[in-house]
Amino acid sequence: MPHHRYRPAHERVEIPEIRRTWPGRRIERAPLWVPVDLRDGNQALAEPMDTLRKRRMFDLLVAMGFKEIEVGYPSSSRTDFDFVRHLATSGVVPDDVTPVVFTAARRDLIEQTFASIQGMPRAVVHLYTATAPVWRDVVLGQDRAGLHALIREAAEHVARLADAMPGTAVRFEFSPEVFNCTEPDFVLEVCNGLTRLWDASPDRPVIHNLPATVEIATPNLYADQIEYMHRHLERRDAVILSVHPHNDRGTGVACAELAMLAGAQRVEGCLFGNGERTGNVDLVTLALNLYAQGVDPMVDFSDIDVIRRTVEECNRLPVHVRHPYGGDLVYTAFSGTHQDAISKGLAHHERAAAERGVPAGEAPWSVPYLPIDPADVGRTYEAVIRVNSQSGKGGIAHLLQVHHGLDLPKALRAEFSRVVQDATDRSGREATPRELLRLFREAYMAEDGPVTPASLTAGGDGFHCLVRHDGRESRGTGADPAAALAAALTAAGVAVEVLWQGGHPAEGGAVAYARCRVGGTPVWGAGEDADAATAYTRAVLAAVNRALAGQRR
């Protein structure tokens, strides 16, 4: 491939020289998250949202607790304009939520933008212009001075229209689009110019939003660029430093996180990373990454599946099953050692919570392979462990226990996992808990066989058992049911030694397991019955029948 056609980032943009401090910092609080699903996300859809879908998305964002929401590009389409009017006139915007409206630096578009927010109590007007050399030269046909003048003129017009709308508390945002590919001194010159022009103050700060419109570099370079701006922006306490990473290199989340370390206070992105090309940075991942570090994300993800379904319906795009925190499979393990660790971890978590005397949902979380407790985002533990040919005894035993109340003895787990392995290898598919139970019953609880059926009665001198073997009836007596059965089998000419037996109560009765030596071969059997004693005899009988059937084969 002709890799020589592409240039490294440091040849495409000047990276500011700084003594960086961001690598030593930690993120200790959530930034202001600003979802741009209704604008940047929407403009990337094959079928942009209609009013109904926009309203659903808006309501979701409000319900999740976002306080600043970019609601559209009102001059781009009738739908966008009408939706902003709908917000302005319907009273659906809560008092603590500020809508953001987006506009290019063109007089007519700016005017239409202001027309859309008439009557809103508050709004942010977000002005943008691309500032990087390639865009200046190829797209806009402007040199630095020309472009600066164009931006300034647009910003003055924005300020004038805001002054003429006293009923609306307008704040200003500026985005030097493709900031990450723009000379640092030029961005600084433009941004500082606007800070002065808009007369930013701590009680009416301006937002400078510095996008990685198209990612071209490793996230550390973006962090350097952000730290440089953080240190050099004028009236720093009157400026909100915002970032807007895209995901062209698959490092949008890393860019945003390093940018926060470097001084970013506000992050624009989309739920589940919708947006142009590879998407905007994913706010779900960012916020829950903080959550997983013990930091309040300031957004509610307690029912992530409802959020995901709403986003899928509004965008008409699916969320990948592996998507961090929200994908269908992200709390699921198929592989044996992972399942074993999770199963042990969950049991340990329950015990630790009980020892502390707190509910499991309040106890510190440290379950292997699960970065957060699925229950915190509304997921159940049911789908955490799923079985296929990659699975092992721990996971299989876990599913039988959780779904069917079967607590298999340790030694039987290993043997049964080979049965399951055989079946899943042959089918190439997953085995559901119901299928596992069927496999277990078929393998260890076979009712049919050379010995049929056993009757068991208790008398003054112990237990009495009757078996039929090859058409002959034989009886035995013993101190316990299994001993009585063994005696009956011996009488029938079948030598049985019960090596181990155990069991537990189960729904509607009891389940018993027996390890028997039959004709020299150790073999497992299991039985279930409303009556525990009968369950034990059934387990022995099943073991015997398995052994005899095997010998006959």
Residue 388 to residues 85, 396, 427, Cα–Cα distance (Å): 53, 9, 9
CB atoms under 10 Å from CB of 367, counted, come to 19
x/- string (CB under 6 A) for ligand KIV, residues 404-423? Answer: --------------------
- Does the footprint of ligand KIV cover residue 76 (CB under 6 A)? no
For residue 195 the two structure tokens come to 């800070």
The three-state secondary structure class of 239 is strand
Name which of ligand ACO, ligand KIV, none residue 244 binds, using a CB cut-off of 5 to 8 Å depending on partner kind.
Answer: ligand KIV
Q: Which of 71, 105, 341, 544 binds ligand ACO (CB under 6 A)?
A: 105
Applying CB under 6 A, the site for ligand KIV has a residue count of: 9
Residue numbers 269-308 binding ligand ACO by CB under 6 A: none
DSSP string, 481-549: HHHHHHHHHHHTT--EEEEEEEEEEETTEEEEEEEEEETTEEEEEEEEESSHHHHHHHHHHHHHHHHHH
Q: Residues 12, 135: contact at Cβ < 8 Å?
A: no
DSSP assignment letter at 247: -
Residue in the shown chain whose Cβ atom is closest to ligand ACO? 76
Residue 464 labeled ligand binder: no
Cβ proximity to ligand KIV: between 246 and 308 the closer is: 246
Residue 244 labeled ligand binder: yes
Q: Residues 339, 333: contact at Cβ < 8 Å?
A: yes
- Does the footprint of ligand KIV cover residue 175 (CB under 6 A)? yes
Applying CB under 6 A, the site for ligand ACO has a residue count of: 16
Q: Which of 195, 213, 247, 289 binds ligand KIV (CB under 6 A)?
A: 213
Cβ proximity to ligand ACO: between 280 and 339 the closer is: 280
x/- string (CB under 6 A) for ligand ACO, residues 70-89? Answer: ---x-xx-------------
CB of 309 to ligand ACO, least distance (A): 26
x/- string (CB under 6 A) for ligand ACO, residues 137-166? Answer: --xx--------------------------
Question: How far apart (Å, rounded) are the C-alpha atoms in residues 541 and 201?
Answer: 86
CB of 137 to ligand ACO, least distance (A): 12
Contacts within 8 Å (CB) and 24+ apart, 4-8 = none
Cβ proximity to ligand ACO: between 116 and 501 the closer is: 116
Question: How far apart (Å, rounded) are the C-alpha atoms in residues 85 and 97?
Answer: 16
Of 101-109, 287-295, 399-407, 532-540, the segment contacting ligand ACO by CB under 6 A is: 101-109
Q: What is the CA radius of gyration of the chain?
A: 34
Q: Which of 177, 215, 282, 340 binds ligand KIV (CB under 6 A)?
A: 177
- Does the footprint of ligand ACO cover residue 375 (CB under 6 A)? no
Burial grade of 357 (CB within 10 A; 0-12, 13-18, 19 or more): exposed
| Phi, psi torsion values for 81, nearest 5 degrees | -60, -50
The three-state secondary structure class of 235 is coil
Residue 469 labeled ligand binder: no
CB of 274 to ligand KIV, least distance (A): 13
CB of 244 to ligand KIV, least distance (A): 5
Of 4-12, 183-191, 205-213, 225-233, the segment contacting ligand KIV by CB under 6 A is: 205-213
Residue numbers 112-171 binding ligand KIV by CB under 6 A: 128
Q: Which of 213, 251, 289, 421 binds ligand ACO (CB under 6 A)?
A: 213
Name, in order, each residue with C-beta under 8 angstroms of 540's C-beta and a sequence gap of 6 or more: 482, 485, 486, 496, 498, 501, 514, 516, 525, 527
DSSP string, 147-202: HHHHHHHHHHHHHHHHHT-TTSEEEEEEEEETGGGS-HHHHHHHHHHHHHHTT-BT
Name, in order, each residue with C-beta under 8 angstroms of 24's C-beta and a sequence gap of 6 or more: none
CB of 100 to ligand KIV, least distance (A): 10
Cβ proximity to ligand ACO: between 130 and 544 the closer is: 130
Question: How far apart (Å, rounded) are the C-alpha atoms in residues 326 and 188?
Answer: 38
Binding residues vs ligand ACO (CB under 6 A): 40, 43, 73, 75-76, 104-106, 109, 128-130, 139-140, 177, 213
Binding residues (CB under 6 A) for ligand KIV: these are: 40, 128, 175, 177, 209, 211, 213, 244, 246
Binding positions for Mg(2+): 40, 244, 246, 280
**Annotation: binding site:** 40, 244, 246, 280
